[in-house]
Amino acid sequence: DAKTTQPTSMDCAEGRAANLPCNHSTISGNEYVYWYRQIHSQGPQYIIHGLKNNETNEMASLIITEDRKSSTLILPHATLRDTAVYYCIVRLYNTDKLIFGTGTRLQVFP
Amino acid sequence: GAVVSQHPSRVICKSGTSVKIECRSLDFQATTMFWYRQFPKQSLMLMATSNEGSKATYEQGVEKDKFLINHASLTLSTLTVTSAHPEDSSFYICSASLDNQETQYFGPGTRLLVL
């Protein structure tokens, strides 16, 4: 089973920041948090991952709480092309498996 | 960035036939490749993990004799759906990573329709 819980859906206005929350209260100390997104009928696209520090790349920022029980993916200026299902995944310790949950369906509107 | 391709992108076959799907890592050598299946409106389900040169490890409930996986080189893994039936119709997606500690990059998926 997935070790994360996410809201089923969210809306965001184009040009605004999209903040996608994820709870992972049972995460272990050496398990990473990964974010992927899947645009309709395509393979998932890697966005970002982190262990305990906040991370930023050209796509997004990842904010992980100090207790590591939750995190937030931030798309700073959402565009219509960011409409997708966003998956927050805890990679199991010492394995290479990614267990996908149900994700958050983000709808960016004009 | 890391690019993974799949071929074909979509395939239609008759019930009882076998279908082979290829997954290639184009700009890196993937020691580990993964195969997922996704039914409509559902999330991705991991089917199996394959390491180059060794037998694949299948998830519980996935029939290894039905879904044959071959990972003969560091850039190619194949999934063969044997004796396909309509219930095997699905979106099959592969991913690849440099090694089992690295980020997985996904292919674009193969849509299989079995008539």
Q: Euclidean distance between the first and final Cα of chain B, in Å?
A: 37
Query: How far is Cα B3 from Cα B86, in angstroms, rounded to an integer?
Result: 31
List the single best residue of B103, B105, B111 to mutate versus A (max A Cβ within 10 A): B103
Query: How far is Cα B38 from Cα B92, in angstroms, rounded to an integer?
Result: 6
pLDDT recorded at residue B111: 97
Closest CA to A25 of A91, A69, A88: A69
Structural contact between residues A33 and A46, judged by C-beta atoms closer than 8 angstroms? no
> Which of A44, A49, A99 has the CB atom closest to B46's CB atom?
A99
pLDDT recorded at residue B31: 85
Structural contact between residues B23 and B46, judged by C-beta atoms closer than 8 angstroms? no
Which two tokens mark B79?
Answer: 């999934």
Q: How confident is the model at residue B115 (pLDDT cuts 50, 70, 90)?
A: very high
User: Which SS3 state, helix, strand or coil, does residue B105 take?
Assistant: strand
**Cβ of residue A86 closer than 8 Å to a chain B Cβ:** no
Residue pLDDT, tens place only, A74-106: 999 999 999 999 999 998 766 778 888 899 999
pLDDT recorded at residue A94: 65
Q: What is the pLDDT along chain A (110 residues), one digit of tens a residue?
A: 668 999 999 999 999 999 999 999 988 888 899 999 999 889 999 999 999 989 999 999 999 999 999 999 999 999 999 999 999 999 876 677 888 889 999 999 99
> Which of A42, A49, A96 has the CB atom closest to B100's CB atom?
A96
> Which of B6, B46, B111 has the CB atom closest to A97's CB atom?
B46
Q: Do A41 and B45 touch (CB under 8 A)?
A: no
pLDDT tops 70 at residue B99: no
